């Protein structure tokens, strides 16, 4: 799915395909993202569901 395997930034768990993840990202300045996955890999911060629900 992604070039490099995404990991949860909190627990370091590898995000597997089909798993629910939360992505914290900056909204792009430019309109239209031609390569969304590449953008997410560069700008996105992944948080797995477990960590996201921890408070």
Instruction: Return residues touching Zn ion (CB under 5 A).
Output: 8, 10-11, 13, 48, 51
What is the biggest distance separating any 2 CA atoms in the chain, rounded to whole angstroms? 35
Smallest gap from residue 18 Cβ to Zn ion (A): 16
Among 49, 54, 55, 52, residue whose Cα is nearest residue 15: 49
Burial (CB count <10 Å: 0-12, 13-18, 19+), residue 24 = exposed
Cβ nearer to Zn ion, comparing 4 with 35: 4
Cβ distance to Zn ion smaller for residue 10 or 43: 10
Give the residue with the Cβ less far from Zn ion, 7 or 33.
7
């Amino acid at each position: 799915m992604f070039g490099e395997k995404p990991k949860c930034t909190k627990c370091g768990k590898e995000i597997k395909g089909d798993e629910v993840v939360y992505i914290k990202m900056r909204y792009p300045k430019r309109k239209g993202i031609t390569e969304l996955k590449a953008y997410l890999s560069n700008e996105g911060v992944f948080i797995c569901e477990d960590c996201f629900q921890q408070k």
